[in-house]
Amino acid sequence: METSNQPEKLGNQIWNSVKTELLLSMRFMAPALSMLEIRRDMSTTSVGTDAVSVLYNPNYVFKTYVEDPNKLNRTYLHMLMHCMFRHMYRASEYPDGELWDLACDIAVESILDSMDYQCIYRVSSDLRERWYGKLSEEIKVLTAEKVYSFLEKHCEWKIYHPKIENTQEMAAEADDLAGIANAEKDLNLITEDTWNRLVREFKLDDHCFWDRLDNNEDEPPKEDKPDIDMQMQMRLRRANKKEIEDAWKNTAKRIKSDIASLGDEKSTETGSLKFYLKADTQDKTYYTDFLNQIAVVREEIRIDPDSFDYGLYNYGMEIYGNMPLIEENEYSETHKVDELVIAIDTSASCSEELVQSFLNETAGILRQRQNFFREIHVHIIECDNRVQNDIIINHPEDMERYADRFEISGGYGTDFRPVFSHVDDLRRKGQLKHLRGLMYFTDGFGDYPENPTDYDTAFVYPSDKETGADKMPNWAIQLYI
- Residue 200 half-sphere exposure toward CB, CA atoms < 13 A: 8
Task: Check residue 308 and give its pLDDT.
Answer: 53
Q: Is residue 262 part of a domain?
A: yes
Highest mean pLDDT among 137-141, 198-202, 272-276: 198-202
Task: Check residue 212 and give its pLDDT.
Answer: 43
Task: Check residue 170 and give its pLDDT.
Answer: 40
Domain's final residue, options 281, 302, 317: 281
Q: Is residue 174 part of a domain?
A: no
Q: Is residue 169 part of a domain?
A: no
Q: Which amino acid is at 23?
A: L
Domain check: are 261 and 348 in the same one?
Answer: no
Residue 42 clears pLDDT 80, i.e. is over it:
yes
Domain check: are 124 and 147 in the same one?
Answer: yes
- Least-confidence region, from 65-69, 123-127, 266-270, 288-292: 288-292
Domain region containing 298: 287-480
Residue 54 clears pLDDT 90, i.e. is over it:
yes
| Phi, psi for residue 264 in degrees, rounded to 5 | -60, -40
Q: What is the largest CA-CA distance in the chain?
A: 102
Contact in structure between 90 and 210 (CB atoms under 8 Å): no
Residue 274 clears pLDDT 80, i.e. is over it:
yes
pTM over 0.75: no
Domain check: are 329 and 204 in the same one?
Answer: no
Which has more pLDDT, 350 or 104?
104
Query: Order of strands, edge to edge, in the sheet holding 53-56?
Result: 37-40, 53-56, 47-49
How far apart are alpha carbons 195 and 202 in whole angstroms? 11
Percentage above 70 pLDDT, the chain = 65
CATH code, domain carrying 418: 3.40.50.410
Q: Which amino acid is at 89?
A: Y
- In 3D space, the residue among 346, 333, 272 whose CA is nearest the CA of residue 300 turns out to be 333
Domain check: are 57 and 118 in the same one?
Answer: yes
Give the DSSP letter string of 333-384.
EEEEEEEEEEEEE-STTS-HHHHHHHHHHHHHHHH-GGGEEEEEEEEEEEES
Domain check: are 217 and 293 in the same one?
Answer: no
Highest mean pLDDT among 105-109, 208-212, 401-405, 443-447: 105-109
Phi-psi region of 68 (alpha: psi -120 to 50; beta: other; left: phi over 0): beta
Q: Is residue 165 part of a domain?
A: no
The domain total for the chain is: 2
Q: What is the pLDDT of residues 178-230, one digit of tens each?
A: 444 443 443 357 888 889 999 999 999 999 998 644 444 444 444 454 555 55
Domain check: are 120 and 22 in the same one?
Answer: yes
Contact in structure between 216 and 207 (CB atoms under 8 Å): no
29: Cβ–Cβ under 8 A, 6 or more apart, which residues?
A: 22, 23, 77, 80, 255
Which has more pLDDT, 175 or 210?
210
Classify the C-alpha dihedral 68-73-76-78 as positive or negative. Answer: negative
Quick count: other Cβ atoms within 10 Å of Cβ 410? 21
Quick count: other Cβ atoms within 10 Å of Cβ 373? 18
Domain check: are 264 and 343 in the same one?
Answer: no
Q: Is residue 161 part of a domain?
A: no
Classify the C-alpha dihedral 361-362-368-370 as positive or negative. Answer: positive
Q: Is residue 456 part of a domain?
A: yes
- Least-confidence region, from 63-67, 86-90, 222-226, 318-322: 222-226
Task: Check residue 448 and give its pLDDT.
Answer: 92
Domain check: are 305 and 239 in the same one?
Answer: no
Domain check: are 32 and 115 in the same one?
Answer: yes
